[in-house]
Amino acid sequence: MTSPASDGIEVRRVTADEWMLWRAARLEALRESPAAFGSQLTDWIEAPESRWRERLSVPGAHDLLAVDGEHVVGMITGMPVADDPSRTELISMWVAPSARGTGLAADLIDRIVDWATEAGASVLDLSVMPDNPSAHRAYERAGFTPLDEPGDLLPDGRREIRMRRTLR
C-alpha cells in the first residue's frame, strides 16, 4: 500500500519480503541517530535475513517506510501489545535529516494513530530517549504526554521516557 505524504514523499507499508529495504533504512537510522534508539548498529549490522524477516512478521504490526524517489527518508512501526489488545506501541520512528522539518514525522505518527484506532486500541504508547528533546517535542505536538512509569533502563543508568496518547 502506497499513499502520498508531504513534498512528493510516498509512504508505504512493508512486509517481510521487503526485508532488505527495511534493513537499509534501519541501519541508516542507527548510523545517523545512534542515541535515538535502544538498539545499536552493532545489534543489527550482522543480523541474518531470518531476523529481519521475523522483525517484519510480527502478527498485527504495521511497518511503514517513507520514500522520496529512490531514498528512504523515514520509518515507523505500530506494534500491538500481545497481552493487552487495548494498547499499541509506536516504535522504530526515524526521519532522515533531509526530511526533518517537512511535517513527515507528524504524518507518520498520524498514520500509526489511524492504524491503532482502526485496530481497536484505546491508547498508543512509546518510549523516547531522555536526551532526544526534538523527538520528545514532536511526540508532545502529536498529543503524547509523559507517563509516571519508568521506561527501560539504559546502560548509563538513566531510563527511557514513556509517553502515551489516548485514542478514544
Helix (H) or strand (E) holding 55: helix 49-55
CA distance 49 to 8: 31
Report CA torsion sign: 133, 148, 91, 140.
negative
Domain-by-domain residue ranges, the chain?
Answer: 2-166
In Å, how far are 65, 119, 146 from 168, measured between CA atoms?
A: 26, 12, 18
pTM equals 0.92
Domain 2-166: assigned CATH number: 3.40.630.30
Residue 11 buriedness (CB in 10 A; 0-12 / 13-18 / 19+): buried
Question: Tens digit of pLDDT per residue, the chain (168 long)?
Answer: 445 555 689 999 999 999 999 999 999 999 999 988 888 999 999 999 999 999 999 999 999 999 999 899 999 999 999 899 899 999 999 999 999 999 999 999 999 999 999 999 999 999 999 989 999 999 999 999 999 998 999 888 899 999 999 997
Find cell 548510523 and name the residue: 31
CA angle at residue 85 from 126 to 114, to 5 degrees? 60
CB burial string 42-54: b at 16+ within 10 A, e below: eebeeeeeeebbe
